[in-house]
Amino acid sequence: MKDIAVIAFSQSDSVADAGANNEVELIMPVVSDALGQVGFKSAQDVDFTCSGSCDYLQGAAFAFVSGVDALGAVPPIKESHVEMDAAWALYESWLKIQMGQAESALIYGFGKSSPGELPHVLTLQMDPYYVAPLWADTIGMAALQARTMLDAGAITEEDMANVVSRSRRNALSNPHAQLSGDYDVETLLAEDTYLSPLRRHDCCPSSDGASAMVICTVERAREMGVKYAVIRGIDHRIETHHLGARDLTVSSSTRTAGERAGVFEAPVEVAELYAPFSHQELILSRSLDLDGDVDINPSGGVLAGNMMMASGLSRIGEVAQRIMAGDYQRGLAHATSGACLQHNLVTVLEGV
Amino acid sequence: MAELAAVIGIGQTKYQTKRGDVSIAGLVREAAQNALIDAGLEWRDIDAVVIGKAPDMFEGVVMPETYLTDALGCNGKPMLRVHTAGSVGGSTALVAASHVQSGVFKRVLTVTFEKQSESNAMWALSNPHPFSPHLNAGAGGYFAPIIREYIRRSEAPYDAGIKVAVKDRKHALRNPLAHLQLPDISMEMVEQSPMLWEPLRFLESCPSSDGACALVIAAEDLATQAPKKPAWIRGGAMRSEPTMYAGREEVNPQAGRDCAKDVYSQAGVTDPRRDLDCAEVYVPFSWYEPMWLENLGFAPEGEGWKLTMEGATSLDEGGDIPWNCSGGVLSSNPIGASGMIRFAEAARQVRGDADDHQVEGAKLALGHAYGGGAQFYSMWIVGSEKP
């Protein structure tokens, strides 16, 4: 496979409620900023554009249709859309460049979760005949997973609080974060449980926002003379939908995706993991053999702000930006979809 | 350069108003299983699955790929969900093809579906968007004024749309999978059906169907070993433009013209009416046949209706460029699958596997899909021979 370069990334602040801003108004600033970082003006300057969004967040069909208004798509552009996190839009774009039909691509993801109640909306992702009618929501299912981990002795509540404490502290240096602060483990554990064993801080917030990225062939990046991070590998895998048929204490699909993406071929220094619940970060870091030497979620991760449909792409952008800044030489980024980490994507990024 | 890829398996369900005998999972599995049987393969032979459908509100399941992974034998494999409005069936096939053309995968299963009986598509499409003017019209109401403008400009005869409605339903009588089976169809019957959105009558509109369509796409080395003749992908293209902008040409959209030009140049087509043997084109409302004949370059601007009226697009009239031999979207319309059915039916033709609606000796065929307010396009050209 060809190495492909990430040359620009931009993300909005994660906010609980973007108010009267519509989707186009969420997208335009990040798309313009990402394009502007490499001297591009509109989607006319890239060969392909792909986005990720979900109709059910805004409560009407075709959330992505108005998104095209943010691109400058006159004359018409080569464009596609996944009803998934934009990390998968990156995957589609990566394939397009691999097949030689494009040399560059703009990818963006956006979501406005504030109009609805996200945990309930996502219930409609479950089997519509047997599970969804029971209204088991995402928090309830994550609590089930955390309880399974605790009962198996795989983690303790202190381990979960440690994840939150580090996330909040790391987020202090992330200007886009929604939640940050200095909290020690004792303070966190003194809080009441919300949905046992989860405390409120074990759950990511619901956020509105968007992010955008520009990628191109390494040759093109060199010609342009811009900074870039290289995508060395990218892979994603899905598991059975039925929670009872999975071992919820591990993530076999993350492991397989990591193997296919080349995570284990050399040590990684940094990892951004899409873990909407604290215990899931522990599952993911174990599935990817991340030890104490790896900086996990230096941005604070999605516990500090979870822009549905954009957070996965943002994890990749967070790692790419740090590599471009020279902070790290090799890192991985992870994205997830579905209940209890059903579907996982792993990207390995390196410096030049 | 892209790797060569070909369709080696095609599976469809019977299209009908309500498939009450199967769940959503059962519906997609039926099409997928049929495609695997057609390709002589088993579930374990598939490297990745690409799924597509129109808005999730049609069934009320958010991002249904998570629920459908078990039914599609995808556990432990990559699964991607495409959504590009009504063009999604075509786009999904192209995204699936890119999995193989990139050299990343060898054999990919792609499935599209809609189980429209789970809801009412017209109203699912007409939900008010926050901060946008509310269009309470459904697709027919949206396209009717554009069609009227076409009629005004082209001075097309009153019955060109009626003729298309009859022609595609006659084609459907040759296709046992087609939803509408109207053996008594006639110009009078269409003309006397109720007017829905002037100038579109009930029988000039597509039905609402349950159904699924699946393809197996394989790399060159595996395609040549397939038990049945492969349909080689000779070109694929997508285009999008904004729904509204100053000066937008809605009758003959530029995105459609550009997309056609792109796919023709990949396949070496210079005169589509001469170079192609047949086409499966997304015609959900009768008048879109003459309009797309022009948009796709089969006829000069303002003259598409002449081909229709001459019978050039009719298999029954021995036309030189039959369109929608399967009966088209006017005869079967599970929205999310409709584009892929066009792509699949084009492939059936060049495989010589289209049974009673086969165009004799078809070697090169166009599959076409469009969506939204006619601002999203996807097209491919498949051939009986490698490029």
Q: Is A17 in the same domain as A105?
A: yes
Q: What is residue B243's predicted lDDT score, i.e. its pLDDT?
A: 87
Which of A195, A229, A263 lies at the terminal end of a domain, its last residue?
A: A229
Q: What is the pLDDT of residues A143-167, one digit of tens each?
A: 999 999 999 999 999 999 999 999 9
Q: What is residue B228's predicted lDDT score, i.e. its pLDDT?
A: 97
Q: What is the pLDDT of residues A288-322, one digit of tens each?
A: 999 999 999 999 999 999 999 999 999 999 999 99
Which of A229, A244, A268 lies at the terminal end of a domain, its last residue?
A: A229
Q: What is residue A23's predicted lDDT score, i.e. its pLDDT?
A: 86
Rounded CA-CA distance B185/B286 in Å is: 14
Is the Cβ of B142 closer than 8 Å to some Cβ of chain A? Answer: no
Q: Is A131 in the same domain as A79?
A: no
Is the Cβ of B29 closer than 8 Å to some Cβ of chain A? Answer: no
Is the Cβ of B255 closer than 8 Å to some Cβ of chain A? Answer: yes
Q: Report the CATH number at residue A84.
A: 3.40.47.10
Query: Hey, what are B353's tokens?
Result: 């596997």
Judged on CB neighbours under 10 Å (0-12, 13-18, 19+), B183 is exposed
Q: Is A109 in the same domain as A159?
A: no
Q: Is A145 in the same domain as A258?
A: yes
Judged on CB neighbours under 10 Å (0-12, 13-18, 19+), B355 is exposed
Q: What is the pLDDT of residues B176-186, one digit of tens each?
A: 999 999 999 99
Q: Is A197 in the same domain as A300?
A: yes
Q: Is A214 in the same domain as A189?
A: no
Give the percent of chain B with pLDDT over 90: 91
Distance from CA of B120 to the nearest CA of A (A): 13
Q: What is residue A110's predicted lDDT score, i.e. its pLDDT?
A: 96
Q: What is the pLDDT of residues A212-233, one digit of tens each?
A: 999 999 999 999 999 999 999 9
Q: Is A320 in the same domain as A240?
A: yes
The yes-or-no verdict on residue A28 having pLDDT over 70 is yes
Rounded CA-CA distance A213/A10 in Å is: 6
CB B79 within 8 A of CB B188: no
Which residues of chain A have a CB within 8 Å of the CB of B64?
125
pTM to 2 decimal places: 0.98
Q: Is A134 in the same domain as A261?
A: yes
Return residues 131-170 of A near B (CB < 8 Å).
132
Where would I find the H helices in chain B? 24-39, 65-68, 88-101, 121-124, 138-154, 160-172, 187-191, 220-223, 254-267, 272-275, 288-295, 304-310, 335-350
Return residues 100-119 of A near B (CB < 8 Å).
100-101, 115
Amino acid at B38: D
Q: Is A63 in the same domain as A156?
A: no
Q: How far is residue B131 CA from its own chain's centroid?
A: 32
B227 Cβ neighbours under 8 A, 6+ residues apart: B39, B40
Q: Is A40 in the same domain as A170?
A: no
pLDDT class of A67 with cuts at 50, 70, 90: confident
Is the Cβ of A83 closer than 8 Å to some Cβ of chain B? Answer: yes
Mean pLDDT of the residues in chain A: 96
Does the distance separating the beta carbons of A128 and B69 come in below 8 Å?
no
Low-confidence ranges of chain B (pLDDT < 70): 1, 127-136
Q: How many domains does chain A have?
A: 2
What mean pLDDT is predicted for residues A114-127? 94
Mutate which: B102, B116, B125, B335, vs A, most A CBs within 10 A: B102
Q: Is A250 in the same domain as A146?
A: yes
Q: What is residue A61's predicted lDDT score, i.e. its pLDDT?
A: 78
Q: What is residue A62's predicted lDDT score, i.e. its pLDDT?
A: 80
pLDDT class of A242 with cuts at 50, 70, 90: very high
Q: Is A214 in the same domain as A316?
A: no
User: What are the distances in angstroms from CA B173 to CA A110, A237, B213, B341?
Assistant: 45, 42, 19, 17
Rounded CA-CA distance A86/A215 in Å is: 13
**Range of the structural domain that residue A88 is part of:** 4-116+206-229
Query: Hey, what are A285's tokens?
Result: 């870091």
